[in-house]
Every structure is written in C-alpha cells, then in structure tokens.
Amino acid sequence: MDTVQKSKQYRPKRYSQKASEVKSGYLFISPFFLLFGVFGVFPLVFTLYLSFHRWDILGETEFVGFSNFSSILFNDPLFWKAVGNTFSIWALSTIPQLIAALLIAFFLNQAFLKYKSFFRLAIFMPNVTSVVAVALVFSAIFGTQYGLANYILSLFGIESISWSGSYIGTHIAISVMVMWRWVGYNAIIYLAGLQGIPKDLYEAATIDGANKLQQLLYITVPLLRPIIIFTVVQSTIGGMQLFAEPLLFGEGSRSQGLTMTLYLYQEAFNRFSFGYAAAIAWVLFLIIIIFSLFNLFLTRKIGSS
Amino acid sequence: MGKKLLLLLTGIVLMFFLVACSEDDANSENESGNNELTLWAWPGFGLGELAEEYEEETGVHINIQEADYGDVHQNLITALASGSGAPDISAVDEGYLDRMKENQDQFHNLFDLGGEELEGVYLDSKWEQATNADQDFLIGVPTDVGPMVMAYREDIFEEAGLPTDPEEVAAEIDSWESYVEAGRQVMDETGKYMINRTSDLYLAILEQSEEQYFTPDEEFIGMESDQNLRAWDIASSAGDISINLERDTAEWGTALADDQIATVLLPPWMLQNVKNAAPDSAGKWNVTFMPEGSGNFGGSFLTIPKQSDQPQEAYDFASWVMAPEQQLRIFKNSGPFPSTPEVYDDPAIQELEDDFVNNNNLGQIYAEAAKEIVAGYKGTMHDPVSELFQDGLISIEDNDTPPEEAWDNVIDEVDRQLNR
C-alpha cells in the first residue's frame, strides 16, 4: 500500500523531468535543424519545384512539365560540352595533383628533412590565398601575347600556345590553377596519414633491403588507402563544382572553359532562366552521385587488389 | 549545467533581438525626423560630393551603397522578387533596363511624381530608353551617356602614311570599309594592329543602329537585321587587323603600352582606362569621330522601386542630382559625360583639355557624338544574345573557324536559349 502510493507520487514527477529533458534536447539540436531547414531543405524542395517551371524571377512561374529536363538531355549541346569540360579539367587537375601530393607528403615525412614545419606551412599557403588573386595572377601568366608561360616556352623554341583560345590551353591553364591551390592541402592530409604508419614497418623494410620506391609502393600506399579514398572523393566533389577559376579566367570563345556549375550560374543570373537552371542543378546532382559511386568503387578495387 | 547553457543561449538570442529592435528604432526615427534615402550604384557615378551638399541644403541624408556593376543588378532583381530589401533609389544600366521595364509594376512611375518636367532636358535617345512605348511610364531619371568616338595613335598613323589631323582622319576613314582598309595599311607598313578584337569592332557598328537583335515585340531578327549582318561581315573579315586581346585586361594594357594597337573605339569614360594602362603614351593620342556616326556605350538611369515608402523624396533627389548643372559638375570632377544637351555649350565642355590627347576640340567632339546617338532597341535578352555573337567572332579569330560555321553555331544557340 505504502509503496504503491509512493510510486504513484513519483511517477508524474519522473515523467515531467523526462519530458523536459526531451524538450531541452530538441532545443539544443534545434539551431542546426532550423538553419538546415531554411538553407538546406527549403532550397532543395524549391529547386525541384522550379525545375518544372519557367521563371525569370521577376515574373510569374509557368508550369512546363518535363520540358526543361528534356531540353537539357536531348537538345543542349552546350550542357554536354560543359559536362565534358568539367570531367576533362577534373582529370587533368586531380590525377597529377594527388600523385604530386603523395610524393610531397612522403618527402616531408622523411627523417633527414630539416625545417619540417616551415615546409609544411609553405606547402599549405596557396590554399589560403584568395581564388580571385590566384586567377588574376595565373591569367597574366597564361596570357597569349604577353604571358610568362609562352615566354618560357619560347626559350625552348616551342611555339606559343593560345591559352585562352584553344581547348587544351584553357583546360591546362585552369587545371594548373586548381592544382596550385589544392596540392598542399592534400599533401597535409597525406602527411597526417603517413604519421599514423608505424615507423618499425619502414625499419623492417630497410633491413630487408627494400629501397625508398618499394617502401612507397608496398607499405605507404596500401596503408594510406582510406585516406586516398577520402582525398579522391573530396577532389571529385570539388572538381565537379569547379566555378570561380573558369569564371575568372574566361570560358573562351567556344565555351571550352565552361564548367557545369558555371553554366548553371549563367543560366540563372545572366539569362534569368531560373527554371532551366534548377533543372540543370538536378541533372548535376545525379551526375555527381553516379560519378562518386563509380569513383568509390574504383578506388576500393585498386586498394584491395 | 544544462540550465546555465540554456540561459546563456536565451541571452544571446535576446541580445540579437535587442540589437535588431534598436536598429529598427533608429531607422524609423530617421524616417520620421530627418529623412534618409538609400541609393544603390556601382563605382564611377561620382555622386558623393553632391549627396553631401544635398543633405546640407535639405537635411535629407543620402546613403550611397556601392557594389559591383553585376551585383547591383542581381541584388536589385532579387530584392524585387522577394518583395523586400530594395533601396529607395537604384541605378540601372541600359543593359538591364528593358528587363526592368518589362516589370514596370515593380517601380514607381516617375510621371506620377513630377517627371513631366524632365521632358526635353535629356538627349532624345536617353528619353526614349527611359520611357515606355506609349510614353506614359517613366522608369528612371537618365544619368550619363557614353558617346562613342575613335581614339587613334598619331605616331602609328604617321608611320603608316595615314593622315594625323583629326578632321582629315575623319574624312579619310568615313566608313567601316575604309576603317578596315586603313587597318590593313597600318599592318602592312608598321606591323601593328588597328584594334584589340573584332568583337569590339562589331559592337561599335551594331550600336549605331536603332534596329539590333529584337523588335519591340521581342521577336528575334538577328538573322536578317541589316546592321547586325553588316557588323558581322565587317568584323568577321577584320581578323588580320586585330591583335585578339580582350579589352580592360592586363594583356590589353601591355599591348597598348607596347604601342601595338593603333585605335580604340571608346566612350569618354574609357579614355581613363587607356591612360591607366599606358601612361607613357600620353601626347601620342588623338580623338576624332567614329566612321558612320556615333553610338552609345554605357549609361544608366536612377529608378525608384515600388518598395520605397518615400518615392517623392527619392524623386526629388534623383531629378536634382541628374539636372544639367549637377551632371556638368560630375563631369568636371572627372565623372561620366552628361546626357543633358544644354550644358554642351558650357566652356567646361567646349574648352575641355586633356594632356593625354592632342586635341583642343575634345569636348566638342564628345558633344557632337552624343547628339548622334540613336536609341537602339535592346529587349530583355539583348546581352546574352550579344555575348553569343561576340563569342562567335572571337572563335573565328582564335582558331580560324570558318565565318559561316561560326554564324550558324551562333544562330542555333540563340534559338535554343530564346526558347527556354
């Protein structure tokens, strides 16, 4: 009797405490969800809505069904050119970049190297530079008539390249800009990964007579696998969203520097076709997902074989 | 612990509200007590000094907020679309004007605020742009104009065996055909280029006509518009006299300083860019009329969005600051060229001198060119379409794309973009 009454008395109190904990719990996580709702979910849903409409932002929206999507897929060579450019620039910048970053990290991790922190800092510096400044300097370097790059080529007797006027020239110029900014970032990540590899493995390998290259290929790379996957995925996402560099360098007369996101931006803010731009955004979303999965599959395969 | 955090958070949130509220209070006080008007513009209008003077005289404070050219227009369009955040006055460039006119319900009709008094004050071409077809809606107060003239290098012309006196040059180069011919002469005799890019030649020719890409019903006529065909033909055949560098880039400046470019087709304000790029070429330049009349490059309007709750005050300032005397003062302070013909006889323009060019009639040439401007009909898609034609011409220069192929590519892409 007594115990029952006690528990009856306690129950509501415990209940309310729990409820208030629940409440404050939600309150604590609410800032994220509010911000995410306003800046994440709403634009996502609204973009989907817009992609089925024609809208110049000031006027009324007009429902057009799937016509935006069918135009993109079947009647827009410029879009597919942008996709091609993006992948080409991505490949030209990411593959050499990651290899270079790995070699730099391997070098920075060597015991014989002095002033380690200085080199680490120096290699990371380009990453904190403003893209606009980088693009301005590189545009001057890759000038066709008065550029530094063509001057250096001329010293070797190579004919000057029209950097802003040809496909390969524009792709290389933009890739070099991307590489310069991101190679240090990736090197630092690899360096962190390298430091997690036990030193005795290298010592044992040295004793067994393995040279530095063999150590790199048979110890470092396999053990760095998860980190390599991480950087590949990062670079893929970054490469697919390449925007500021081509915008500032110039897309060229045949749109050879036009990337997917730049095309989306121009559609929305130069031509004010917001519906079409929204549809492009969704197609891009799909392309990036497919490509990331493919990438993941590939890096897994390489790592495990 | 949790409670303390909660308290802290609530405190922060409350503080935000307090700050927000107090700002609101300050604003409303301003609105009722001494007025404040916000004005959006991009750099180069030269309104600062006049705005201060206006505040001293009337007590109305003008809060000038500057942003990049593109940003001002994008921000304005976003603010109009979202229904809040637009300023009391916003500058709108002629390139965006037709998009705004299309949505004229977003703006105050200046005719309702006393705009009739402005009729006849500004160049006809400016007035035509500022009003709608029925002449019953005035979207903005005209600001400056950019009358196109031809700046040329006397030393290069002399070396090439061309005349150097402005009048003789204008007589010799009186058509675009003779311009290209003179360019070939320059190339043959000196190895230097006549112009920076064929697309700039194209734009100069296109701007001389009222009919450009679109009819007032927004029908695309780029394939048959005489002026567009002529501009394309001349520009696409002029690749050999062009150095193929984009205007206002570092390389363009280097080429100018390196004495490689013989002429620049420019509005008055762009002369400053040439000065900055090639200061050592001072005294080697002269200015004369462009072949086949002038054209316009740049020039804006001060509009009053519907969201402004003090349109009368905004109109009073806009019409005052763009009145003839004030436009003249802006010009004297090395600002853009006035759009009010009555000040063209003022000594400040008639006797304009510039050490950079050997011409005592510089101001007269500008004024004469300004009167020759025709108001080309633009339409909402003018700029993107123009971009495609320019890219087409550059692709001919870049890699010898056959002109017919480039033309077909442009027309195909225009067609796709217009049907979106």
Q: Can you give the residue ranges of every domain in chain A?
A: 17-67, 70-304
Minimal-distance CA residue of chain A relative to B76: A58
CATH fold group of domain B34-145+298-350: D-Maltodextrin-Binding Protein; domain 2 (3.40.190)
Give residue B345's identity as a one-letter amino acid code: D
Chain A nearest-CA distance from B71, in A, is 10
Residue A116 Rama label (left phi>0; alpha psi -120 to 50; beta): alpha
Query: CB–CB of A145 and B254 under 8 A?
Result: yes
pTM: 0.87
List residues in chain B touching A: CB distance below 8 A: 2, 5-6, 70, 74, 77-78, 80-81, 99, 102-103, 106, 243-246, 249-251, 254-255, 258, 380-381, 383-384, 387, 391-395, 397-399, 401, 413, 416-417, 420
**According to the model, what pLDDT value does residue B353 have?**
86
**Whose CA is closest to A286, among A147, A61, A96, A83?**
A83
Per-residue pLDDT, B27: 43
- Per-residue model confidence (pLDDT) at position A75: 92
Best residue in B398, B407, B416 for a mutation probing chain A (most A CBs within 10 Å): B398
pLDDT tens per residue across span B119-135: 999 999 999 999 998 88
- Answer yes or no: do A59 and B254 touch at CB < 8 A: no
With tokens 């709702």, the residue in question is A37
Q: How confident is the model at residue B6 (pLDDT cuts 50, 70, 90)?
A: low
How close does chain A come to B113, measured CA to CA in Å? 24
- 């001329």: which residue's tokens? A154
Q: Which two tokens stand for residue B82?
A: 């979202």
CATH superfamily of the A70-304 domain: MetI-like (1.10.3720.10)
Tell me the average pLDDT across B58-77. Answer: 93
HSE toward the beta carbon, residue B193, CA cutoff 13 A:
21
Per-residue pLDDT of chain A (305 residues; tens, 9 = 90+): 455 455 555 555 556 777 888 888 899 999 999 999 999 999 999 999 999 999 988 888 999 999 999 999 999 999 999 999 999 999 999 999 999 999 999 889 887 888 888 998 999 999 999 999 998 899 999 998 899 999 999 999 999 899 999 999 999 999 999 999 999 999 999 999 999 999 899 899 999 999 888 888 888 888 998 899 889 888 988 999 999 999 999 999 999 999 999 999 999 988 899 999 999 999 999 998 898 888 878 877 766 65
| pLDDT category of residue B104 using cuts at 50, 70 and 90 | very high
In A, minimum Cα distance to B243 occurs at A145
Number of alpha carbons in the 13 Å side-chain half-sphere of residue B324: 16
CA–CA distance, A257 with B417 (Å, rounded to integer): 19
Enclosing H/E stretch for A150: helix A148-155
Q: Which residues touch B48 (CB under 8 Å, ≥6 apart)?
A: B64
Q: What is the mean pLDDT of residues B64-78?
A: 93
Residue B24, pLDDT above cutoff 50:
no
What was the ipTM of the complex prediction?
0.84
pLDDT band at B286 (very low <50, low <70, confident <90, very high): very high
- Domain locations in chain B? 34-145+298-350, 149-297+361-418
Please indicate whether residue B367 or residue B28 has the higher confidence score (pLDDT): B367
Res. B228: pLDDT tops 80: yes
Whole-angstrom Cα distance, residue B37 to residue B376? Answer: 32
Q: Which of B8, B100, B260, B420 to mutate to test the interface with A (most CBs of A within 10 A)?
A: B420
Q: How many angstroms separate the CA atoms of B126 and B339, rounded?
A: 7
Q: What is the mean pLDDT of chain B?
A: 90
User: Under a CB-based contact definition with an 8 Å cutoff, are residues A238 and A97 in contact?
Assistant: no
- Topology adopted by domain B149-297+361-418: D-Maltodextrin-Binding Protein; domain 2 (3.40.190)
If one compares B304 and A226, the residue with the highest pLDDT of the two is B304
pLDDT computed for residue A288 by the predictor: 87
The DSSP code sequence of B98-162 is HHHHHTGGGB--GGGGTGGGGTTTS-HHHHHHHB-TTS--B-EEE--B-B-EEEEEHHHHHHTT-
**Chain A residues within an 8 Å CB radius of B7:** none
